[in-house]
Amino acid sequence: MKKLFSCLILSLIGMPFVSNTAKADKNYFINNGEIIEIFESSVSDSVTTFTKLTTFDRASNNNAFFDNGSYWYDQSLNKLFFQEKDGSTFAATGRHWEYDLNTDTWSAITISSDSSDSVPYYGSISSSYSDVISTNTSNISTNTSNISTNTSNIKALGEGVAGSTALTAALTALPQTAKESKLSCGVGTGAYSSRYAVGFGCASKVNERVDINAGGSYVFGGSKSYGGGTLDSGVVKAGFVFKLGELSKPTQISFNDKKIIDKKLSTLEENNKNLNAELKLSKAKNDEIISQNQKLLARLEKLENIALKFQSSSEMISIATKD
């Protein structure tokens, strides 16, 4: 029965001395059984812990015990008060015990009263409105501070998000593939909501199907801490492009191919100019030959005429001689 009685009393310690204290996460409890023990409760991360503060020595105090419900906590004195009962008759003795939380000491005291009852039983009546006000005031102050902190964190988070957007914009401006050369590098910039970033990256052609790229960007203004974390001022990226399916020949020529074609066209134009010059020279020579031929033909014609005249004269002389 004594053990059962002790367990029953221990189950009742869930009722704190004061329902609302200045520290909402700390209360005091009593195990009012065969052993009288005083506990302090504390809450950390939603976990409640009971820590024993003291044990009342019943054997040295006529086996006295405390009346259930007749104890209270005086916040101004930081003391616990208990009404004593006789261990044999279970009657109130008219004496109280106080436990000083500051000095960790017990003292037997007599509390004067003008009660009409010869042996009154005192039960605690909560009058903790001032405590509630104090607690609420403290909570308001804490909430105000938290709101200020949250406002600052939200602002920092917004600036960090803007910086992240600028970083991303700078990254997207970097080359992803190398089209006209083995290696292509570039510089990119990005801006968003008064945050500016610059990036640098390169892309390399591994073969006709695979290109790799890497780069990074940095946002001016530094990183931003928002309470639960930090948005850094720099970011890096790496990736590859893998072409699937049949590779089609490009319809457009590259810059290098254009240079080669332009050079060949220039050479052809120069050759054409040379050919035209040679053709003109050949034509001039041909015209000269034709002119010379015409002159020779004219001379030949004259010679033929002379020869004909000479032949005709010879025939006439021959005929005259015969006659």
Q: pLDDT tens digits, residue range 105-142?
A: 999 998 888 888 877 776 666 555 555 666 777 788 88
Structural tokens at position 323? 């006659």
Q: Which of 108, 111, 70, 63 is nearest to 89 (CA)?
A: 63
More confident position, 290 or 319: 290
pLDDT digits (tens, 9 = 90+) for 151-185: 887 877 777 788 888 878 888 888 888 777 788 89
Q: What is the mean pLDDT of the chain?
A: 79
The predicted structure's pLDDT at residue 1: 39
Q: 83: buried, middle or exposed (CB in 10 Å: 19+, 13-18, 0-12)? A: buried
Q: Give the pLDDT score at 62.
A: 82
Burial class (CB in 10 A: 0-12, 13-18, 19+), 59: exposed
Strand-pairing partners, residue 88, are none
**DSSP string of 111-147?**
-----SSSS---------HHHHHHHHHHHHHHHHHHH
* Residues forming a β-bridge with 92: 85
Q: Which residues contact 220 (CB under 8 A, 6 or more apart)?
A: 195, 196, 197, 198, 233
Question: Predicted confidence band at 214 (pLDDT cuts at 50, 70, 90)?
Answer: very high
Task: Look up the pTM and report it.
Answer: 0.37
Cα angle vertex 58, ends 56, 63, to 5°? 155
Q: Domain limits of the chain? A: 2-125, 149-242
**DSSP symbol at 250:** P
Four-residue CA torsion sign, 80, 84, 87, 92 = negative
Question: For the chain, what percent of residues have pLDDT higher than 70?
Answer: 82
What is the C-alpha to C-alpha distance for residues 289 and 231, in angstroms, rounded to an integer? 92
pLDDT of 202: 93
- State the pLDDT confidence band at 99, using cuts at 50, 70 and 90: very high
Pick the CATH number of 149-242 from 3.40.50.410, 3.30.1300.30, 3.90.1300.10, 3.30.470.10: 3.30.1300.30
Q: How does DSSP assign 292-304, residue by residue?
A: HHHHHHHHHHHHH
Q: Are 78 and 102 in contact (CB under 8 A)?
A: yes
pLDDT value of position 14: 40
* Percentage of the chain modeled with pLDDT above 90: 13
Q: Tell me how far apart the alpha carbons of residues 163 and 233 are, in angstroms, rounded to a whole number.
A: 7
